[in-house]
Amino acid sequence: MTNAPTILVVEDDRNLNRVLSMALKADGYHTIDAGTGQRAIEEVRTRNPELVLLDLGLPDGDGLALVPTIRANSSAPIIVVSGRQADTEKVKALDAGADDYMTKPFSVPELRARVRATLRNHARVVDGPATIVVFGPYTFNFEARCLLRGTDRVHLSPTEFRLLATLARHLDRVVAAEVLLKETWGSAYQRKDDYVRVYMHSLRRKLESDPAHPKYLLTESGLGYRLDIAAA
Ligand code: CA
């Protein structure tokens, strides 16, 4: 399958790297291995992978520091793979531009499901409808995959973009967490309510002047979330 997506596996644990690569190859993907951050950046620049699996504990530094460099060189979604469990670590990775976060240990079926969902969502957004939604000082453009504040571009990670796109598609209506999960991450994620909380938190930090009292990204207690475009 020459058209199969290429996945860059950045992991210095050789056994784990082999297990991941074998599982991905079994699903028909091409894989590239990198055991260091430096090698990972070289591979991103020269081989243009469609998705990056990124371990955070690398011998030449914290994988998190690579995220902006990968983002600057590639639009490939990034799934961070880490032993760090804390929400603050997840928020840091997502703020830096990662799309998804898996904590070790994880199962191979989970990995495969997340890779599938991430690639599918990425393709869906790229092919999305040409729609513009304006709220407050913001202009959200589905097709250009961009959010402007006035004329300044607001940097969103691909997952933040998709979450905002899901809310914008259900404009001014309450969207239940399960629906957000399904439409933003895919049906494999329906019980991961913490994902919505973590990403909503990072979106509010970027968009709201007072993230604790949001004007646009509202929580409707017990019901879900709503993008309020009528807010001044
Ligand atoms: Ca490691």
Nearest to 79 by CA among 121, 132, 45: 121
**Using DSSP, how many helices (H) and how many strands (E) does the chain show?**
8, 13
pLDDT of residue 54: 96
- Reported as a pLDDT band with limits 50, 70 and 90, residue 1 is very low
Going 207 to 211 to 215 to 219, the CA torsion angle's sign is positive
Q: Are strands 132-135 and 138-141 parallel, antiparallel or unpaired?
A: antiparallel
Query: For residues 93 and 157, is the Cβ–Cβ distance under 8 A?
Result: no
Give the pLDDT score at 52: 96
pLDDT above 90 for 96: no
pLDDT in tens, 119-151: 877 765 544 444 778 888 898 888 778 899 988
Residue 225 confidence (pLDDT): 93
Instruction: Tell me phi and psi for residue 217, to 5 degrees.
Output: -95, 90
CA of 55 to the centre of ligand 1 (A): 6
Higher model confidence: residue 186 or residue 116? 116
Q: Which residue would you say has higher pLDDT here, 173 or 115?
A: 115
Residue count of the chain = 232
Name the DSSP class of 71: H
Instruction: Calculate how far, in angstroms, residue 209's C-alpha sits from the geometric centre of ligand 1.
Output: 37
- Predicted confidence at residue 130, as pLDDT, reads 47
User: How far does residue 49's CA lie from ligand 1's centre (Å)?
Assistant: 20
Q: Tens digits of per-residue pLDDT, 19-33?
A: 999 999 999 999 999
What pLDDT shows up at residue 36?
97
**Cα–Cα distance for residue pair 91/215, rounded to 1 Å:** 21
In sign, the C-alpha dihedral spanning 57, 61, 67, 71 is negative
- C-beta separation of 110 from 84 below 8 A: no
Q: Which of 164, 39, 51 is nearest to 102 (CA)?
A: 51
Cα(188) to centroid of ligand 1, in Å? 26
Residue scoring higher pLDDT (92 or 218) = 218
| The model's pTM | 0.59
**What's the one-letter identity of residue 180?**
L
Mean pLDDT of the chain: 86
Whole-number Å distance, alpha carbon 139 to ligand 1 midpoint, is 40
The token pair at 120 is: 């599918």
Q: 16 alpha carbon to ligand 1 midpoint, in Å?
A: 9
Report CA(138)–ligand 1 centroid distance (Å): 39
Strand partners, 175: 225
Whose tokens are 């709220």? That residue is: 135
Tokens of 48: 């243009």
Span from the CA of 203 to the centroid of ligand 1 (angstroms): 28
User: Rounded to the nearest whole angstrom, what is the distance from the C-alpha of residue 85 to the centroid of ligand 1?
Assistant: 14
- pLDDT, residue 135, reads 84
Rounded distance from Cα 75 to ligand 1 centre (Å): 24
Domains and CATH numbers, the chain: 6-123 (3.40.50.2300), 132-227 (1.10.10.10)
Q: What is the pLDDT of residue 15?
A: 93
